[in-house]
């Protein structure tokens, strides 16, 4: 149980706007007494499973003293994600426990968004293409089953949509994936081909900023985690010859087709990298680097 906090006073009302949060997706019935000791306003009970994480309440607006449904402490607030424009697309293969874990985190933190799930059968590129074929929304979130949604993820997705709405030249916005061994992994890189070797280097393209103050870095290459225009993958589908180790070669092809991406540091996810069984591990170790030379005439310095 959270310790009580000092109740706000009328002197604090000019700053009340800083306390207002988007509506909680678990907003329950009105309570007559605030469990946090706030005597100035009524509150609504939070119906989430771990209600001790916080209590949803209604915050007074100074000029009108009206009540606005908001959530000060509960982690399950609705950040205003456009469910009619954004679909979560999830590929999976041989990792059912990881998929269940991801689904639970989606239910907890992104319950309003539609979700499409595709078993790749071991061909990750084909699975992603099938998901795009099934998608009807303008934007897609590219995910794999070993991801876990964080409390901060929803706000990052909202900001990524804002970037795409602001900048028509950006095909997709990639973020950061926190991994057990490598830490906070990020890709905001450009390709640097020299002869028969292609390297990736950190992008130094000038930062851009949305009218709302969201800063992002244009680049050629981001993680396979982020918000993308569905039309991006219809114009340049994943090459199904690369059933694994598809990452670099896809973005190389997309960048040669004129697509530009963006790295945004506020877009966060956990990436657990489960390696559950011998079948999965053997499939993961398949090496298709020879196809890069056959198709593009070079090899990548670091294959990913």
What was the pLDDT predicted at 151? 83
For 86-300, CATH gives 3.90.550.10
Which of the four pLDDT bands, split at 50, 70 and 90, describes residue 37? low
Q: Which of 111-120, 189-198, 266-275, 278-287 has the lowest mean pLDDT?
A: 278-287
Count of C-beta atoms within a 10 Å radius of residue 17:
11
40: DSSP letter: S
Q: How far apart are CA 56 and CA 71, in angstroms?
A: 5
Which of the four pLDDT bands, split at 50, 70 and 90, describes residue 30? low
**Rg of the chain on CA atoms, in Å:** 22
Q: Which of 78-82, 216-220, 272-276 has the lowest mean pLDDT?
A: 78-82
Residue 97 has pLDDT above 90, yes or no: yes
Close Cβ partners of 251 (under 8 Å, ≥ 6 residues apart): 191, 220, 221, 222, 261
> In terms of Cα–Cα distance, which of 52, 14, 10, 15 is closest to 35?
52
Whole-prediction pTM: 0.78
Q: 32 vs 297, which has greater pLDDT?
A: 297
Mean of pLDDT over the chain: 82
What was the pLDDT predicted at 16? 34
Evaluate whether 58 touches 27 at the Cβ level (below 8 Å). Answer: no
Residue 47 has pLDDT above 80, yes or no: no
Q: Which of 71-75, 101-105, 195-199, 280-284 has the lowest mean pLDDT?
A: 71-75
Residue 199 has pLDDT above 90, yes or no: yes
- DSSP labels, 64-115: T--EEEE-SS-TTB-----TTTEEEEEEESS-HHHHHHHHHHHHHH-TTS-E
Q: What is the mean pLDDT of residues 238-251?
A: 95
Q: Distance from CA of residue 125 to its chain's centroid?
A: 19
> Per-residue pLDDT tens for 125-159?
999 999 999 999 999 999 999 999 998 899 899 99
What was the pLDDT predicted at 9? 33
Q: 55 vs 268, which has greater pLDDT?
A: 268
Q: What is the mean pLDDT of residues 284-304?
A: 84
Q: What is the mean pLDDT of residues 243-270?
A: 97
- DSSP labels, 229-260: EHHHHHHS---TT-SSS-HHHHHHHHHHTT-E
Q: What are the residue boundaries of the structural domains of the chain, listed by start?
A: 11-70, 86-300
What was the pLDDT predicted at 78? 58
Which of the four pLDDT bands, split at 50, 70 and 90, describes residue 277? confident
Q: What is the mean pLDDT of residues 88-92?
A: 98
């Amino acid at each position: 149980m959270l310790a009580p906090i000092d109740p706000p006073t009328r002197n604090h009302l000019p700053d009340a706007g800083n306390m207002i949060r988007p509506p909680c997706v678990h907003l329950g019935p009105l309570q007559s007494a605030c469990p946090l000791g706030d005597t100035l306003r009524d509150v609504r009970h939070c119906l989430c499973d771990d209600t001790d994480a916080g209590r949803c309440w209604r915050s007074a607006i100074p000029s009108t003293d009206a009540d606005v449904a908001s959530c000060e402490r509960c982690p399950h607030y609705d950040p205003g994600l456009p469910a009619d424009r954004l679909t979560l697309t999830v590929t999976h293969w041989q990792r059912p426990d990881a998929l269940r874990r991801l689904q639970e985190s989606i239910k907890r933190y992104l319950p309003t968004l539609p979700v499409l799930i595709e078993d790749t059968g071991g061909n990750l590129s084909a699975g992603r293409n099938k998901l795009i074929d099934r998608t009807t929304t303008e934007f897609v979130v590219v995910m794999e089953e070993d991801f876990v949604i964080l409390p901060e993820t929803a706000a990052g997705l909202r900001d990524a949509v804002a970037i795409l709405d602001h900048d028509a030249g950006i095909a997709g916005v990639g973020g950061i994936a926190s991994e057990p061994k490598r830490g906070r992994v990020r890709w905001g890189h450009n390709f640097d081909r020299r002869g028969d070797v292609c390297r990736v280097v950190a992008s130094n393209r000038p930062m851009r900023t949305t009218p709302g103050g969201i800063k992002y870095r244009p680049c050629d290459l981001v993680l396979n985690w982020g918000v993308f225009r569905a039309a991006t993958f219809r114009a340049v589908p994943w090459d199904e010859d690369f059933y694994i180790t598809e990452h670099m070669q896809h973005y190389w092809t997309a960048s040669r087709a004129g697509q530009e991406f963006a790295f945004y540091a506020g877009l966060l996810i956990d990436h657990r990298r489960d390696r559950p069984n011998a079948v999965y591990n053997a499939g993961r170790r398949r090496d298709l680097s020879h196809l890069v030379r056959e198709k593009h005439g070079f090899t990548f310095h670091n294959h990913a």
